[in-house]
Amino acid sequence: MNKKLLALAVAAALAPAAAMADSGNVVISGKIAADVTFVNGTGQTGVLDNNTHQVNNNNSVVTLAGNEDLGNGNKAFFSLTYGLNMVSAASALSGQNQIMGLEGKTWGKAFVGAFDNPLKVMGRGTDLFADQSTGDARYLTGRGAVEARANDVIAYITPSFNGFTGVLAHTNNPVTTVAVDVTDAGRSTAMNIVKLAYANGPVTAAIGHHTIDSQGTSGTTNVVGGESATRVTGSYAAGDLKFVGSWQKVDHAYDVAETAAGLKGANTKVWGLGAAYKMGATTLKGQYYKLSDDVADSGAKMVAVGADYAMSKRTTLQLAYSKVSNDTNAGYGVNAAVAGSDALSLSANGQDPSRLSLGMKHTF
């Protein structure tokens, strides 16, 4: 096939998507991001050499979004986000946030579907290494349902009042991460979330809280458990310098059967501070997170430093280094759910995994 025929074939294949994107009803957007990461100090089970390297998919996604004007300042809208797997051609699209609803200028936004816990959204906003396999705060903050995406969500977001907005959300079908550290079978859960946020000029601040009431059976015994979590985040921008901070507390309520089974230590606190400084096309950044646990010698801390270089408005190179220091009974820093990184394991608790990565991010 000559070049002219090839060009015509490509144009014909892309024409439907292009027409959708330009119609004003449907917008296609997304992000392609991946890196090569060198990992040290994991002591992987069954592997003599604890140094390895990975090609990681840093949360590559595609989103289809659209709306219809209903008049009087109201509109119907939808947004469908799918995860893309950059490291395995055999994997299909995976569903992420999937919502539809109504929005009005005077009354706010109401929607249903599958959606990130608003506490997770808060954390993504103040994590300078969000969705990077190196330095992502979720290596320490990913406890319980704080970083989860819930199913069957009913949510309401208020309009902005002088920079203040509120969020209310409810579901009877959270994702399975809600039941972490719980062994009861046949468990049903109800999750309620409230969030208050402020954004005005250089200042942002937010506080969010969720509760999970759980009940099920352990053998022939009816049991009740649950979880409560609170997160506070904030940021301040002073010219090219930006400061961020966060704090969270996750508590699990244990029933008699769970306590008898030795399920303890799910109650944790995590705080973090970070700063970023932009110099032309380069942004230097660093952050520090510390986790404390009710169980002795089960805490951890993580330091991360990096640099982002904007090659254009949509393409960025990312260099990052992080190290997790674990107490004797802790094993953080190898969570495969973070930014799509490959699964690793520690041969024993108390090790200190480190990562060095070079990646690229392209938005469209």
Domains of the chain, with CATH numbers?
Answer: 28-363 (2.40.160.10)
> In the prediction, which pLDDT does 267 show?
83
pLDDT at 43 over 70: no
**How many Cα atoms occupy the beta-carbon half-sphere of 78 within 13 Å?**
9
**End-to-end CA, the chain:** 29
Average pLDDT (62-68) is: 96
Q: Which residues contact 269 (CB under 8 A, 6 or more apart)?
A: 247, 248, 249, 250, 291, 292
Q: Which of 105, 183, 118 is nearest to 150 (CA)?
A: 118
pLDDT of residue 312: 97
What residues contact residue 362 under an 8 Å CB cut-off, 6+ apart? 31, 32, 33, 314, 315, 316
Mean pLDDT score of the chain: 83
Q: What pLDDT, in 10s, does the model give residues 289-346?
A: 999 988 788 899 999 999 999 999 999 999 999 999 999 999 898 875 666 666 677 7
CA distance 233 to 229: 13
Tens of pLDDT, residue by residue over 159-176, are 999 999 999 999 887 654
Of 332, 324, 330, nearest in space to 296 by CA: 330
Q: Are 299 and 271 in contact (CB under 8 A)?
A: no
What is the spatial distance between Cα 290 and Cα 274, in angstroms, rounded to a whole number?
A: 12
330-to-209, 265, 301, 333, 350 alpha-carbon distances in Å: 26, 11, 10, 10, 6
